[in-house]
Structure 1
Amino acid sequence: MHDRFSGVAEAAAREAGHLIRERIGRAREVGEKTSNVDLVTEVDKQSEAVIRTELLAAFPEHKILGEEGVAPGSAASAEALNKALSAEYLWIVDPIDGTTNFVHGLPGCTVSIALAHRGEVIVGVIYDPLRDEMFTASRNQGAFLNGTPISVSKEDNLGVSLLATGFPGDKEWAREVNLRGMVALSPICRNIRAIGSAALHLAYVACGRLSGFWEIDLNAWDMAAGSLLVQEAGGTVTNTAGVDYSLDVRHIAASNGLIHTELIRALKQSDATGL
């Protein structure tokens, strides 16, 4: 059954990705949600509509939690997830992760689709339409990039690790917390990247392009698919205090596993966990 779930999700992601590829840098309606870095466009909404149509045509009894159907803000996102988790099968959709990149015409926009069964993610799909890279994972069946198995990197200490993080939309609290982590980690790791898409960061941890990733105040649709990819590729996903990942986590740390203890220690010591 996982194969059918994954196949439908991949088809939906490709269809939504076609919209992104056609319209990147040319969005007509750019609005702000919680701040001037938390953007939404008509293409986000069109992309989510395409995905919903595909998923419900195949699985009409399933529920869908999509970013564009939820009011802005952390509290509203957490409440929407809490209400949705009672569904036996719940699709968790981010129609464009990296909307700011999309608006500016900068590569780094992905489609992220996950399926949770009774609260546990069992399928994850992240599609980068600009590179035509389809990352897929099913619970206990491994992780793949365009059909080829992938695994996390082998760096065993922060000194040789390439990390990634983001700049949260909440400038008054979350961004300051995240910056504390950057200040603490930048002198002790090889370098830090901020591509602008949490889903893409997680996919890159899964395939070994990044050693680890952390970020404060993300939503379930930013992380659900990517969390499974990292786990199925042999990595570790927790909250920023080292507690195992679940769908209600908002502050995430993901790595190849070998550097995870060091990463968590640095975040705790710099008061950068957000907890």
Structure 2
Amino acid sequence: MSAADLSLAVTLAQQAGDILLRHWQTRDSLAISTKRAGDFMSRADLDAETFLRDALRAARPSDGWLGEETGADGNSERVWIVDPLDGTTNFLRGIPHWAVSIALREAGRLTLGVIHDPIKSETFAARCGAPATLNGQPIRTARTQTLEPALFGTGIPFGGMAHIDDHAADIARLMPLCAGVRRMGAASLDLAYVAAGRLDGFWERRLQPWDIAAGLVILQQSGARTEGWHSTENPQDSGTVIAAAPALFDAFARVLRAG
């Protein structure tokens, strides 16, 4: 991981965002397939992922690849983890909240993350050893210290996912204690918003690596605290993440884990 890797990821995320913006203008005519109930893939997803895979192969030919739509390729100590369009349902319905997410994993450790929101022209980025940034300016988590004024984000399961009841119970415990909970439909942006102090915390169960890899790096470099459902779990491995501003984390996690 180097500054050059981060610069490359930022450039490619923004270029993939331009591809998505072109599809955004004609989204009503996009070819769409259903992966499972409530989970969609479009031509926009595939075009953005193909661009990113080909560009990364050309720039870093010895690196491996893990993409949401095309799976794993290569066997490398360095693996690029990509969600070409996080928030596909928002995209297809004309809701302007979706993003491109790119992360780099080296020897099992996440070292770089970029989340680009083309609609708002916002690029969140971080690499280990350097501050997290938004459009090049450093960002930090919120200073919220108690639950009462805190605003949280989450992702509500859809379709026939097995943990819908668990999540409903989480919300029922948390809502009376805080200022509100938002479900905005793009986990990568939720994590970036915690890093930037727009949300005080976020939780979700059973996410995929491409959903959270970039966000975990940005959170770490912004000063946020992240754990799995249990304090010994690594969200990168379990796919379940609890993230919050440091002063708030213990109280937030205690409520969630009480179920």
The TM-score range, normalised by the shorter chain, is: over 0.9
Question: CA contact under 8 A between 1:34 and 1:169: conserved in structure 2?
Answer: no
* Cα separation, partners in 2 of 1:244 and 1:147, compared to 1, 3 Å: farther
- 1:74 aligns to what? none
Question: CA contact under 8 A between 1:98 and 1:109: conserved in structure 2?
Answer: yes
Instruction: Provide the C-alpha distance between the structure 2 equivalents of 1:60 and 1:178, rounded to a whole number of angstroms.
Output: 41
- SS in structure 2 opposite 1:43? helix
Q: Which runs of 5 or more structure 1 residues have no equivalent in the other structure?
A: 71-79, 271-275
User: Are 1:253 and 2:248 matched, yes or no?
Assistant: no
- SS in structure 1 opposite 2:69? helix
**CA positional deviation for 1:136:** 0.4
- 2:152 aligns to what? 163
Instruction: Provide the C-alpha distance between the structure 2 equivalents of 1:27 and 1:13, rounded to a whole number of angstroms.
Output: 24
**CA positional deviation for 1:261:** 1.1
- SS in structure 1 opposite 2:246? coil
- SS in structure 2 opposite 1:92? strand
* Cα separation, partners in 2 of 1:27 and 1:169, compared to 1, 3 Å: farther
**CA positional deviation for 1:216:** 1.2
- SS in structure 1 opposite 2:253? helix
- 1:173 aligns to what? 162
- 2:57 aligns to what? 56
Q: CA RMSD in A?
A: 1.6
- SS in structure 2 opposite 1:121? strand
- 2:86 aligns to what? 97
- 1:76 aligns to what? none
Instruction: Provide the C-alpha distance between the structure 2 equivalents of 1:191 and 1:171, rounded to a whole number of angstroms.
Output: 26
User: Are 1:236 and 2:225 matched, yes or no?
Assistant: yes
**CA positional deviation for 1:15:** 1.2
After superposition, where does 1:60-99 map in structure 2 within 5 Å?
A: 60-70=61-71, 87-99=76-88
**CA positional deviation for 1:34:** 2.0
Equivalent position amino acid for 1:38 in 2 = D
**CA positional deviation for 1:108:** 1.0
* Cα separation, partners in 2 of 1:111 and 1:27, compared to 1, 3 Å: farther
Equivalent position amino acid for 1:30 in 2 = I
- 2:131 aligns to what? 142
Equivalent position amino acid for 2:15 in 1 = E
Please report the TM-score for the alignment, with normalisation by the length of structure 2: 0.95
Instruction: Provide the C-alpha distance between the structure 1 equivalents of 2:58 and 2:158, rounded to a whole number of angstroms.
Output: 34
**CA positional deviation for 1:243:** 2.9
- 1:221 aligns to what? 210
Equivalent position amino acid for 1:241 in 2 = H
User: What's the CA shift string for 1:13-71, capped at 9, x where partnerless?
Assistant: 01110122222243511111121x1111011011100111111111000001000013x
- 1:30 aligns to what? 32
- 1:5 aligns to what? 5
Please report the TM-score for the alignment, with normalisation by the length of structure 1: 0.89
* Cα separation, partners in 2 of 1:172 and 1:146, compared to 1, 3 Å: closer
- 2:17 aligns to what? 17
User: Are 1:194 and 2:195 matched, yes or no?
Assistant: no
**CA positional deviation for 1:132:** 0.4
Instruction: Provide the C-alpha distance between the structure 1 equivalents of 2:234 and 2:108, rounded to a whole number of angstroms.
Output: 12
Instruction: Provide the C-alpha distance between the structure 2 equivalents of 1:27 and 1:131, rounded to a whole number of angstroms.
Output: 23
Question: CA contact under 8 A between 1:184 and 1:266: conserved in structure 2?
Answer: yes
Instruction: Provide the C-alpha distance between the structure 1 equivalents of 2:173 and 2:76, rounded to a whole number of angstroms.
Output: 40
